[in-house]
Amino acid sequence: MVKQKKILVVFYSRTGNTKKVARIISKQLGAELSEITPLTNYHGGVGFLKAFLSGMFHRSPKIKHYKMPTNYDLVIIGTPKWPGGVSSPIRTFLKNEKFRRVAFFCTKGGLGSPFKPMEKLSNKPLATLDIDAKETSDNSYKQKIVDFLNKIK
Ligand SMILES: Cc1cc2nc3c(=O)[nH]c(=O)nc-3n(C[C@H](O)[C@H](O)[C@H](O)COP(=O)(O)O)c2cc1C
């Protein structure tokens, strides 16, 4: 019998875009899903400003307790693109946890990438996937997800 790979999808999402992609990926892979929640409230206009500054100054805010990732063959980590690259809650997560096999995905407005800082904090990814606002609105991101999954399977 072929052993089923144990895969975890971890993500943070402020407005739901990254969550949407995380859900599709975890469903396709039959992977567990774990959402990172910061203690800081990043919602609304003031929250946006806090998020912006937190990203720009590479802060690592406290995050709520999450499912401890142990014994996974692969951990897939998703983040929205923020200034400084990776969102601050995922920065904290990556500082806390180290994994041997990782893959990264992000959603973004259109500019920049979080993958270099994520690699620095974690490990070289098996594959990366980035989806911008235009791709989310015309659904072309679904093919990109298929390509990403083929690389990590
Ligand atoms: C504080 C802040 C800074 C952002 N900076 C960028 C950026 O530099 N480049 C970019 O393409 N998108 C940027 N965005 C847009 C988000 O990355 C994008 O909307 C993403 O899909 C949001 O994902 P979420 O809904 O999972 O939070 C920024 C969003 C926020 C809140």
Q: pTM higher than 0.85, yes or no?
A: yes
Give the torsion through C-alpha atoms of 118, 134, 26, 148, to 10 deg. Answer: -70
Distance of CA 118 to the CA centre of its chain: 9
Burial of 45 (0-12, 13-18, 19+ CB in 10 A): exposed
Task: Give 94 Cα–ligand 1 centroid separation in angstroms.
Answer: 19
Q: Report yes or no: 40 and 94 within 8 Å, Cβ to Cβ.
A: no
What whole-number distance in Å separates Cα of residue 23 and Cα of residue 105?
A: 12
Is the shortest distance between the CB of 88 and ligand 1 below 6 Å?
no
Ligand 1 nearest-atom number relative to CA 42 = 31
What whole-number distance in Å separates Cα of residue 136 and Cα of residue 153?
A: 23
Report pLDDT for 1: 56
| H/E run at residue 75 | strand 74-82
Report pLDDT for 3: 65
* Ordered per-residue pLDDT tens for the chain, 153 residues: 556 789 999 999 999 999 999 999 999 999 999 999 999 999 999 999 999 999 999 999 999 988 766 789 999 999 999 999 999 999 999 999 999 999 999 999 999 999 999 999 999 999 999 999 999 888 889 999 999 999 998
What is the set of domains in the chain, with CATH numbers?
A: 7-152 (3.40.50.360)
Q: 60 in helix, strand or coil?
A: coil
Q: 99 in helix, strand or coil?
A: coil
Is the shortest distance between the CB of 55 and ligand 1 below 6 Å?
yes
Which CA distances in Å does 64 have to 38, 125, 128, 129? Answer: 6, 25, 26, 26
Give the torsion through C-alpha atoms of 120, 123, 108, 64, to 10 deg. Answer: -90
Is the shortest distance between the CB of 57 and ligand 1 below 6 Å?
no
